[in-house]
Chains A and B, each alone.
Chain A
């Protein structure tokens, strides 16, 4: 029961973090300079974005819940089960981020979700 509660916390915080992160990174634009100085500049800019700070906070919540989960459940259960967020996120990427999710992506996401469900059995 405790494992399922932790799983719910992980999924909710992961969905929130991913949506905020994707939204803010698209607003920032494609990162093209991968030299050390360029990366430092990018990280300095990103560190001031409120949505990213919120996203990292959600990821931290997810991380601590994950730490507690792997102490009481198999890694090969915890990781795929926490990916139950995949379908919710694909739907929200379409609705909130206005991404164009074509048939190929829907089928791919459904196959992955089915696979994740089998891994969690």
Chain B
């Protein structure tokens, strides 16, 4: 495969994974600390403009755009499993920063996801015209 395309794909996949995981962490942290329950449109608006939630939204916008760019050359059926490594990162961040319980089943799931990501990541991100 073209080395330039491989490098570009790996760089964008890394941006997609990191911006999503840290965006979700920041959003969750903000929503659980000082925002209150989301019961009305006004409470959603108030939450959106709190600092941690705002940071989370900026990171998630970065995630959305970088993923959109990645999809301009890589197949959806390639992008989905490769960026699924973000689920592992989310579990780790949830454990470290939010004190969530990570059971043996969740660690086993983490290993399975990593195996799947490696398997798909070794292949070609674009298999032909797919419009």
| B-binding residues in A (CB < 8 A) | 18-19, 21-23, 25-31, 43, 46, 52, 56, 59, 63-64, 67-68, 70-71, 74-76, 79-80, 83, 86, 89-90, 93-94, 97-102, 104-105, 107-112, 114-121
| Cβ–Cβ < 8 Å partners of A102 in chain B | 123, 127
Tell me whether chain A's interface is mostly helix, strand or loop, or mixed. helix
In the complex formed, the residue of B with least CB distance to A79 is: B90
Q: Mark B57-83, 1 if CB is under 8 A from A, else 0.
A: 000100011011101110111111100
A116 in complex: contacting residue of B31, B101, B111, B113, CB < 8 Å: B113
| Cβ–Cβ < 8 Å partners of B110 in chain A | 115, 119
Tell me whether B69 and A115 are in contact (CB under 8 A): no
Instruction: List 11 additional contacts besides A90-B76, A119-B91; criterion CB under 8 Å.
Output: A31-B72, A67-B44, A70-B31, A71-B38, A76-B95, A105-B77, A107-B119, A108-B81, A111-B119, A115-B111, A119-B105
| Max chain A Cβ within 10 angstroms of own Cβ: one of B67, B76, B81 | B76
Q: Mark B95-131, 1 if CB is under 8 A from A, else 0.
A: 1001011110110111111111101101100011111
| B contact residues, total (Cβ < 8 Å) | 60
| Cβ–Cβ < 8 Å partners of B24 in chain A | 70, 75, 79
| Cβ–Cβ < 8 Å partners of B68 in chain A | 21, 25, 46, 52
How many angstroms from the CA of A115 to the CA of B80 in the assembled complex? 14
| Cβ–Cβ < 8 Å partners of B25 in chain A | 75
How many angstroms from the CA of A78 to the CA of B15 in the assembled complex? 21
| A-binding residues in B (CB < 8 A) | 24-25, 27-28, 31-32, 37-38, 44, 47, 60, 64-65, 67-69, 71-73, 75-81, 84, 86-87, 90-91, 93-95, 98, 100-103, 105-106, 108-117, 119-120, 122-123, 127-131
A-B contact pairs, 28 of them (CB 8 A): A21-B67, A22-B79, A43-B65, A67-B31, A70-B28, A71-B37, A71-B38, A74-B100, A75-B98, A80-B91, A86-B80, A90-B77, A93-B80, A97-B76, A98-B130, A100-B127, A100-B128, A104-B120, A104-B123, A105-B78, A109-B120, A111-B112, A112-B117, A115-B87, A115-B108, A115-B112, A115-B116, A116-B84
State the Cβ distance, B42 to closest chain A Cβ, in Å. Answer: 14
